[in-house]
């Protein structure tokens, strides 16, 4: 018997007293991260947000077996956020779509959720109306049965049977009413419950996991009352993907007691927040570099290429790459590089000749 087959299944039960210590740790870590990031200033907060959102999208897609080009994702986010230091490259229609969904979730977290808003997210996930080789219902709730299965053909195992299609509209109305209500419930716990509730309904033909994780980001943004994102929940879910599916399966086959799921979610969020220490270290190194050289003149090409070196966009720096990315002549590129070497910003690597490359001195 699945959870959704029980009467009033959405009236989840959990042991709040058992959750309080872990919830307190998560809330404390959220405050620490937001405080540290706020001390960096607007530009570097934007850089950290760019990195976190790009990582979130790439990892969320990897959970579904899809691979996104990180440079395309970063460039699409940068354009939409007005960040011009990211080394912009063209992005595919699909990448633009998934970026649009995540930015709507995180930048407009305070807007109410609605059927139409979710339909818009679904549309941008499947702009061709197909999932791989198969045509699917796009921008509407499914009208067919939905099973979560795995295994070779003829040996499939059913992990989950979602509610019948005729139940979906009413189930989503109940979910959205709860999602938009001002409840005496900690906002982080609301994020965890929203994720479980949505994937239990499984309202779409495909893309339910990605939309559930976008909803998680929306509710976490609400919990912080902050549009900027400094960590990636999907990265931690990806690292623990098997455990993620196992705890979901146990919960969805349970009787409505969801403490185990909430503990797993809070642990995952705690790890995601802890991982910001490496992100923060990166941003602080970048901030320290520009503070150290605040009196040094850099032309526009140099600033762009230095920032791209921090972002790790193109590996070893050569004069040929410089000319191509900066859209300048080879002589101009070499002069830019020599100027930075003279200023102690770049150093020549050991290899010489045609393979001459340079590294940033941090």
Q: Distance between CA atoms of 297 and 294, rounded to whole angstroms? A: 8
Torsion of CA 32, 33, 36, 37, to 10 degrees: -150
- Are 263 and 20 in contact, with CB atoms under 8 Å apart? no
Share of the chain above pLDDT 70, in %: 94
Rg (CA), the chain: 23
pLDDT digits (tens, 9 = 90+) for 311-361: 666 567 889 889 988 889 999 999 999 999 999 999 998 876 667 888 888
Two tokens at 110?
């305070």
pLDDT digits (tens, 9 = 90+) for 169-223: 999 999 999 999 999 999 999 999 999 999 999 999 999 999 999 999 999 999 9
pLDDT grade, residue 86 (50/70/90)?
Answer: very low
260-273 burial, b for 16+ CB within 10 Å, e for fewer? Answer: ebbbbbbbbbbbbb
Closest by CA to 171, choosing from 210, 207, 214, 200, is: 200
Region 240-260 average pLDDT: 95
Residue 95 above 70 pLDDT?
yes
- Which run of H or of E encompasses 299? none
Interacting residues of 10 by C-beta distance below 8 A, sequence separation 6+ = 174, 175, 178, 197
pLDDT digits (tens, 9 = 90+) for 121-152: 999 999 888 887 789 999 999 999 988 776 65
Residue 224 above 50 pLDDT?
yes
In this predicted structure, what is the pLDDT of residue 85? 52
- Are 212 and 200 in contact, with CB atoms under 8 Å apart? no
Closest by CA to 105, choosing from 194, 181, 43, 193, is: 194
Closest by CA to 360, choosing from 274, 302, 278, 320, is: 302
pLDDT digits (tens, 9 = 90+) for 162-180: 999 999 999 999 999 999 9
Residue 36 above 60 pLDDT?
yes
**Domains in the chain, please, with CATH?**
3-280 (1.10.3290.10), 297-360 (1.10.10.10)
Residue 289 above 90 pLDDT?
no
């Amino acid at each position: 018997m699945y959870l959704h087959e029980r009467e009033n299944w959405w009236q989840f039960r959990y042991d709040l007293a058992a959750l309080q210590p872990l919830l307190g740790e998560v809330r404390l870590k959220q405050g620490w991260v937001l405080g540290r990031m706020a001390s960096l200033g607007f530009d570097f907060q934007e850089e950290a947000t760019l990195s976190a959102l790009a990582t979130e999208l790439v990892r969320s897609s990897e959970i579904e077996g899809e691979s996104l080009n990180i440079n395309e994702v970063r460039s699409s986010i940068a354009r939409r956020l007005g960040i011009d230091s990211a080394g912009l490259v063209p992005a595919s229609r699909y990448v633009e779509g998934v970026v649009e969904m995540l930015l709507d979730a995180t930048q407009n977290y305070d807007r109410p959720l609605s059927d139409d808003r979710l339909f818009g997210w679904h549309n941008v996930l499947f702009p061709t109306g197909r999932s791989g080789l198969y045509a699917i219902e796009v921008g509407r709730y499914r009208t067919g049965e939905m099973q979560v299965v795995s295994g070779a053909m003829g040996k499939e195992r059913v992990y989950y049977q979602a509610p019948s299609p005729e139940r979906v509209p009413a189930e989503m109305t109940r979910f959205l009413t709860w999602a938009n209500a001002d409840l005496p419930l900690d906002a982080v716990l609301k994020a965890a419950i929203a994720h479980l509730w949505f994937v239990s309904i499984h309202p779409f033909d495909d893309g339910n996991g990605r939309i559930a994780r976008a909803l998680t980001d929306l509710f976490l943004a609400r919990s912080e009352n902050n549009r900027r994102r400094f960590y990636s929940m999907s990265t931690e879910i990806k690292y623990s993907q098997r455990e993620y599916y196992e705890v979901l399966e146990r919960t969805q086959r349970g009787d409505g007691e969801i403490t185990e799921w909430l503990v797993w979610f809070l642990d995952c969020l705690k790890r995601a927040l802890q991982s910001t220490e490496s992100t923060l270290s990166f941003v602080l190194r970048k901030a320290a570099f520009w503070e150290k050289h605040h009196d040094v003149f850099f032309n526009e090409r140099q600033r762009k290429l230095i920032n791209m070196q921090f972002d790790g966009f193109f590996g070893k720096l050569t004069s040929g790459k410089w000319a191509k990315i900066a859209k300048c002549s080879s002589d101009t590129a070499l002069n830019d590089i020599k100027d930075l070497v003279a200023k102690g910003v770049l150093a020549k690597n050991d290899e010489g000749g045609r393979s001459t490359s340079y590294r940033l001195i941090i």
